[in-house]
Structure 1
Amino acid sequence: MASVQPASSLRQCLRTISTSTSRRAITCSSPSSTIRLSLPRRRLASSQASQASPCLPPQKALDRGHSMPRLRQPKRHFTGTRFVARNEQTPSSEPQPSTLYTFADMQSLTSHPAPNRVIIDVREPSELKSTGKIPGAQNLPIKSAADGFFLGPDEFEERFGWEKPTAQDEVIFYCKAGVRSRAAAGLAAQAAFGGKISEFPGSWIEWAEKGGEVEKVEE
Structure 2
Amino acid sequence: MAMSHLRSSRCLFYLQKIVMQQAIFASVKAFPSAELTSRPIMTTAPDPYCHPSTLINIPQIQLYDFEQHLNNNTACIIDVREPKELQETGRIPNSVNIPLGEVRDAFELSPAQFQQKYKYSKPSPDKTLVLTCRSGKRSQIACEVLHKQGYERVINYCEGWLGWEQKLKQEQQEQQKQ
TM range (shorter): 0.5 to 0.7
Structure 1 stretches of at least 4 aligned residues deviating more than 6 Å after TM superposition: none
| 1:110 alignment partner, one of 57, 60, 70 | 70
RMSD, matched Cα? 2.4
| CA drift at 1:196 | 0.6
Question: Cα gap change, 1:204/1:97 in structure 2, threshold over 3 Å: closer, same or farther?
Answer: same
Q: Say which one has the larger Rg.
A: 1
Partner letter of residue 206 of structure 1?
G
Question: Cα gap change, 1:157/1:108 in structure 2, threshold over 3 Å: closer, same or farther?
Answer: same
| CA drift at 1:206 | 1.4
Please list the CA deviations of residues 139-191 of structure 1 after superposition, one character each: whole Å capped at 9, or x if unmatched: 11113564213222222222222111102200000100111101100110122
Work out the number of aligned pairs and report it: 118
Judge conservation of contact 1:172–1:198 (CA < 8 Å) in 2. yes
2:123 pairs with 1:165: yes
| 1:122 alignment partner, one of 62, 80, 94 | 80
Task: State the distance in 2 between where 1:183 and 1:162 align.
Answer: 22
Task: State the distance in 1 between where 2:155 and 2:133 align.
Answer: 13
Alignment partner, residue 143 of structure 1 = 101
Q: TM-score, normalising length from structure 2?
A: 0.59
Structure having the larger proportion of residues in helix: 2
SS of corresponding position for 2:101? coil
Alignment partner, residue 137 of structure 2 = 179
2:165 pairs with 1:208: yes
Task: State the distance in 2 between where 1:109 and 1:190 align.
Answer: 23
Task: State the distance in 2 between where 1:169 and 1:126 align.
Answer: 28
Judge conservation of contact 2:58–2:156 (CA < 8 Å) in 1. yes
Please list the CA deviations of residues 101-137 of structure 1 after superposition, one character each: whole Å capped at 9, or x if unmatched: 11111122222223xx101000111211221112211
Please list the CA deviations of residues 33-82 of structure 1 after superposition, one character each: whole Å capped at 9, or x if unmatched: xxxxxxxxxxxxxxxxxxxxxxxxxxxxxxxxxxxxxxxxxxxxxxxxxx
Task: State the distance in 2 between where 1:163 and 1:206 align.
Answer: 27
Identity %: 28
Task: State the distance in 2 between where 1:101 and 1:180 align.
Answer: 15
Task: State the distance in 2 between where 1:149 and 1:183 align.
Answer: 15
Judge conservation of contact 2:103–2:142 (CA < 8 Å) in 1. no
Higher RCO (CA 8 Å, separation ≥ 6 residues): 2
Judge conservation of contact 1:149–1:187 (CA < 8 Å) in 2. no
